[in-house]
Chain A
Amino acid sequence: MSELMIEIDVLRYRPEMDEKPFTQMFEVPYTPDMSILEALQYIKDHLDSTISFRWSCRMAICGSCGMMVNGVPKLGCKAFLRDYYPKKVSLEPLTNFPIERDLVVVMDDFIKKLEEVKPYIIPEKEKCLSEGTYLQTPEQAAKFKQFSMCINCGLCYAACPQYALDNKFTGPAALALLARYNRDSRDGGEAQRMKIVNQEEGVWGCTFVGYCSVVCPKDVDPAAAIQLLKVESSKDYLIGMFKPE
């Protein structure tokens, strides 16, 4: 019995040898339970060991294996060949990011944006250890839990047409993370973060296309976080009119 095979196109780019990216086709034995990431591992082990791609956990926790699968941003470990077979699959590095090598992209701008939104709890006032822990009710925790599920895979940046047009835009994941801290009852840093939100490059760079939330593998719904922040920013604008700093 002959093995079932599936064709996989991979966009290759090795900066030291290639002038520009090119497509290389591989034939991989197909099984219905095989993920895109496993297919890439098969290629690396059996067909071409020079191929580069990021991966770690294989279970949609680490956020390393983001790539374009037939033009759609997906995690390699969470996308399966059975959803494409017998058609061929085309794999490309995440769009809107510079290519470092093959399917590996440079994420520096994204990481910088995550750092810029002050993604840590800024307490209202420093509390001594002896004063005990910060208490939080389930209701207070529910206000931010969804926005804390982000794994920084960058799929939403690849999906965002506004980030594609102008990468000064803070972008979906960073703004969702910002919302996560602003909505936390233990946090007192809202005033500092609202300055980031209120800018053109903050929430106002978003035109609510909503594709970020469609591609998010963890159902964070960054588009919702941004629209909620727009409401907050509008309130802040009104208050700012009467109380100039």
Chain B
Amino acid sequence: MSETTEKTYKRSHEPVFWGLFGAGGMLTAFLTPVMILITGILIPLGIINSQNFSYEKIHGFATTWYGAAVIFILVALPLWHTLHRIFHALHDIGINRGRDWQQVICYGFAFAGSVFVFTLLLQML
């Protein structure tokens, strides 16, 4: 406790990415198993009529504003979750060269993916 001057503290911007990571993680944990159950098991087994998931039905859903919103959230948030996890995993396995570039590439990809889906849905409306 010999320091006489107060240390300077640098605030991390992690809360932004942690927030997106957390939200995406919730969605991934709760909804991905349900989606796999429906599209991977229940429809192939014929328990759910595949006509409910025909191109026309899904297109109709995606071109409503609430459908577009649901799809956007379902794609974008898990994307941010995944890339945040990859970014931290790179540090965990000892790849520490160019952390700035790793950050730009990881979050840049998530951002680009989100913008892409958003634009795609918007021009379908």
Contact = CB atoms under 8 A, between A and B. Distances in A.
A200 B13 CA distance: 8
Q: How many A residues are at the interface, by size bracket?
A: 10 to 19
Contacts of B92: 161, 165, 207
B9 A237 contact: no
B15 interface: yes
A204 to B, nearest CB: 4
Q: How large is the interface on B (under 10, 10 to 19, 20 to 34, 35 or more residues)?
A: 10 to 19
A200 B14 contact: yes
Interface in A186-245: 195-196, 198-200, 202, 204, 207, 230, 233-234, 237-238, 240
B12 interface: yes
> Chain A interface secondary structure, helix, strand, loop or mixed?
helix
Interface in A73-125: 115-116
B18 interface: yes
A87 B31 CA distance: 45
B98 interface: no
Contacts of B59: none
A125 to B, nearest CB: 20
B10 interface: yes
B19 interface: yes
A199 B12 CA distance: 5
Contacts of B13: 237
B97 interface: no
Interface of A: 115-116, 161, 165, 195-196, 198-200, 202, 204, 207, 230, 233-234, 237-238, 240
